[in-house]
Amino acid sequence: MKREYWIVIIVYIAMQLSSLVGLPIMLFSFKSLGISQSLAVPVWLIASFSIALLIILLLLRKEMVRGNFEKRNGSSIGTSVMWAILGVFLAYFAQIFAALIETRLGVEMGSENTQNILHIIEMMPAAILVTSIIGPILEEIVFRKIIFGALYKRFNFFISALISSVIFAAAHMEFQHILLYSAMGFTFAFLYVKTKRILVPIFAHVTMNTLVVLVQTVYKDDIERLQREAEAIQNFIGGFL
């Protein structure tokens, strides 16, 4: 693996652990300045992820300038766009399938990570930039381009995707949903291999996260209303059966 790739991984890990030191300092600073401490978490999230992305892009700038960031024999633009759009649906189907299996295994539905993220967005809507754009870009560069890419040079697709997807799942620290995250990792790895363009899984990942956030924040009330209406209709019909 290239030296720059190792540094990218270190930067990503450092970003994930930075809150252990940086967040308490920011909480103390906000308190001293009379700023609401509830804003410390979203501000630190935005700052740490943005700085990490900037550093990683600087580390990979030579590859991007030389055109080596994407595979030279990658799919055409038209084919890549097709797989990028199709990839969103594939990721959702994989997620649903994995969720059904988890339910059969007795794992409760719902993600604590997702709820925490939605709470952060409620406190500071700008945090959606991290959850919907910056986060997915970082994850695809680290877990698909670097980790999966390095493994795929030595092993077949299944083994490479399995190892990188489990690492991807473990990084989310929700081990009860490791199957769910791994299924998504497999899907994004498939898109990367199929098109040889990292922008394709990035697009699918960004789109999926954005839709999830929109559904559970902006359109939350509308969806709950539709669910209540659907239940009322079912109960009404059930009264005649």
**Out of 70, 102, 139, 140, which one is annotated catalytic?**
139
Q: Examine the residue annotation and report whether 140 is marked as an active-site residue of this protein.
A: no
Yes or no: say if 149 and 161 are a contact pair by the CB < 8 Å rule: no
Q: How many CB atoms lie within 10 A of CB 53?
A: 20
CB under 8 Å, gap of 24 or more: what pairs does 74-83 form?
A: 74/195, 74/196, 74/197, 75/194, 75/195, 75/196, 75/197, 75/200, 79/195, 80/195, 80/197, 80/199, 80/200, 83/191, 83/194, 83/195, 83/200
CB-count exposure of residue 134 (10 Å: 0-12, 13-18, 19+): buried
**Out of 4, 63, 172, 174, which one is annotated catalytic?**
172
Q: Examine the residue annotation and report whether 205 is marked as an active-site residue of this protein.
A: no
Instruction: Determine the 3-state secondary structure of 143 from DSSP.
Output: helix
Residues with a known catalytic role? 139, 172
